[in-house]
Amino acid sequence: MTTTKKELYETIDLIPDLVAKELLKYDDYLDSKYIGKTMPKELIIKDNKDLKKKLNERIEKIESGKGKMLTIDEAFEEIDNL
């Protein structure tokens, strides 16, 4: 974990619950306004059922030879490059 991420996690731990709830609401707003509109649909996970569906689709692609297995680092690198 990078120093910046560690610092962010430590800061989050100090936020009172009431403020954290407001931050989550703001996060939802930003997601609906920006991320949800610009992120490729295959990277947006709506719920557990959607996650399972997308993981199964990816497994099928890999097994059929139409996709390759990525390491965690490769997957995050691909996401960072979007």
What is the model's pTM?
0.46
Name the residue ranges covered by the structural domains of the chain.
1-38, 41-82
Identify the residue whose tokens are 């610009």: 38
Q: Residue 73 carries which side chain, given as an amino acid letter?
A: D
Is 58 in contact with 67 (CB distance < 8 Å)? yes
- Return per-residue pLDDT of the chain as tens, 82 residues: 788 888 888 888 888 888 888 988 888 888 777 776 777 777 778 888 998 998 899 899 999 999 888 888 888 888 778 6
CB atoms within 10 A of CB 18: 8
Note the pLDDT of residue 27: 85
